[in-house]
Amino acid sequence: MSERTGRPQAPRERAEGRAALVTGAARGIGAATVRALAAEGWSVLAVDRCADDPALPYHLGTRAELDAVVAQAAAGPGQAHGLVADTRDRAAMAAAVAEAERRWGGLDAALAVAGVIAGGVPLWEMPPEQEEAVLSTDLGGVLALARAAIPALLRRPEPRHGRFLAVASAAATRGLPMLAAYCAAKAGVAGLTRALATELRGTGVTANAVSPGSTDTPILAESARLYGLPGAASFAAQQPLDRLLAPEEVAAALAWLAGDGSSGMTGAVVPVDGGLAL
Ligand SMILES: NC(=O)c1ccc[n+]([C@@H]2O[C@H](COP(=O)([O-])OP(=O)(O)OC[C@H]3O[C@@H](n4cnc5c(N)ncnc54)[C@H](O)[C@@H]3O)[C@@H](O)[C@H]2O)c1
């Protein structure tokens, strides 16, 4: 249906002329999302901090990885531009949104994908700096992007088709031992998504989230280490699909949610989890 007239309309096949901002873009689900959007014709500002966090014992994405994602996106029909910025920095998120608007004349979708993990011990034994790293990135970074990006989505003229999208987790609804701060942050993302949907009432801008299950990326390898498991593959048996998800499978859902096909959805937290939450 047309968001303006309420009449049926043909689905838009390409997204040429639309601009998106994706955080956590150097690798994993964020990188796959940049590639998926570019393949649909989007212009994408690919944002990542491209630096390790001294509070965390595993490596984060790198500038070389971000550059590689941008080069892959150049296969088109869309394009990507890489930007090094930390989602926890409100001013940096405002500058990133301004950069997307300067380059492409506006912003149509903002996707908060960046995240970190820490734990492996009960919350009361977790180093406070790790708790802070998880909460400030996995919830605070999503809030910072929402603050910066939603006004830009609303600056688009009506009828709007703006999309604010966040990546939560199966941890948003499950109580996972030794990951209490991560569960708290991801449950916060789900609550934020629902509340933003109501705040955006009638604007044509929607807010939705996906909750991935165990997906084959470095964060899952770190989760395995935290649980003392031999590797990420150990998580496969927990999901009825009986395998890990590929980042591209989560990215496909995010790219669909960014497009016109999701116009009837807002405030949804969609499991893309191989059945993990069942
Ligand atoms: N992989 C899984 O099994 C899984 C499951 C559920 C949810 N998730 C979520 O999916 C999202 C993507 O994770 P992934 O699996 O691709 O992990 P990943 O570690 O491969 O990628 C995360 C990316 O985010 C970047 N990043 C981290 N903190 C940042 C910050 N403050 N500012 C900017 N960039 C930052 C990192 O540099 C890295 O490139 C995360 O929010 C994660 O919590 C992943």
64-100 pLDDT, tens digit per residue, is 999 999 999 999 899 999 999 999 999 999 999 999 9
The CATH architecture of the domain made up of 19-272 is 3-Layer(aba) Sandwich (3.40)
Nearest Cα residue to atom 37 of ligand 1: 61
Phi, psi of 221 (to 5 degrees): -60, -40
| pLDDT at res. 10 | 40
Tell me the domain boundaries of the chain. Answer: 19-272
Among residues 34, 182, 210, 216, which one is catalytic? 182
pTM here? 0.95
Q: How far is the CA of 10 from the centre of ligand 1 (A)?
A: 35
- 96-136 pLDDT per residue, tens: 999 999 999 999 999 999 999 999 999 999 999 999 999 99
Q: Which residues line ligand 1 (CB under 6 A)?
A: 23-24, 26-30, 48-49, 60-61, 86-88, 113-116, 137-138, 141, 167, 169, 212, 214-215, 217-220, 247
Q: How far is the CA of 48 from the centre of ligand 1 (A)?
A: 10
More confident of the two residues 9 and 53: 53
Question: What is the atom index within ligand 1 of the atom nearest the CA of 167?
Answer: 41
Q: Let me know if 182 is a catalytic residue.
A: yes
| pLDDT at res. 12 | 44
The pair of three-digit structure tokens given for residue 192, joined into one six-digit string: 């934020």
Range 31-40 average pLDDT = 98
- 126-140 pLDDT per residue, tens: 999 999 999 999 999
The span from the CA of 35 to the CA of 250, in Å, is: 12
- 210-234 pLDDT per residue, tens: 999 999 999 999 999 999 999 999 9
Q: Is the per-residue pLDDT at 8 higher than 80? A: no
Q: How confident is the model at residue 3 (pLDDT cuts 50, 70, 90)?
A: very low
The span from the CA of 209 to the CA of 57, in Å, is: 28
